[in-house]
Amino acid sequence: MNRNELTQSAQNMAPFNEKAVDEFETKLQANVARLNQAMEARPDILELIGPNNLAMMKDNHANQARFMLSIFREFNAETFVDTILWAFRTYRSRSFHSGYFAAQLNTWIKIFGEELTPETYKDISRLYLWIQVNIPSFVACSDEKLSENRSKKITD
């Protein structure tokens, strides 16, 4: 899928239950801390994020959680897809492996299953599952943009 197809597909994800979003927000900081702990404990973490990137990974987790909260509150498919594409380009250009995103999303989903009520889990996790299913498309779209950026630097 290209960016436009991803955006069209994402439009089917909204709306989100206000009570579920409130619970997500209430547990946001604790869940970010659990995610950081789980990801740091992975034996393959340096292969996933590259050297000297633990602080960047933690910042990403906190920023992503706050971004997702804003998306749950006021869903905008274009902003959602464009931000994910930006994250894929940005973090991959800093030595994060594309497998990091799958590992992170799997961990989020596991944590949500343990920490959120079943109703909230069902509502919130569907957006994370959508991202997960579309990782190959996000990688392909971000590869195109990374190639464009490299070409511009060479020709400039």
Spatial distance between the Cα atoms of 103 and 91, rounded to a whole number of angstroms: 14
Q: What are 34's two structure tokens?
A: 């659990």
| Sign for the pseudo-dihedral over CA of 75, 125, 96, 142 | negative
Spatial distance between the Cα atoms of 32 and 12, rounded to a whole number of angstroms: 26
Q: What are 103's two structure tokens?
A: 């590992």
For 117, phi and psi rounded to 5 degrees? -65, 155
Distance of CA 21 to the CA centre of its chain: 17
Q: What is the pTM of this model?
A: 0.90
Domains of the chain, earliest start first: 18-155 (1.10.490)
Per-residue pLDDT of the chain (156 residues; tens, 9 = 90+): 999 999 999 999 989 999 999 999 999 999 999 999 999 999 999 999 999 999 999 999 999 999 999 999 999 999 999 999 999 999 999 999 999 999 999 999 999 999 999 999 999 999 999 999 999 999 999 887 655 544 444 444
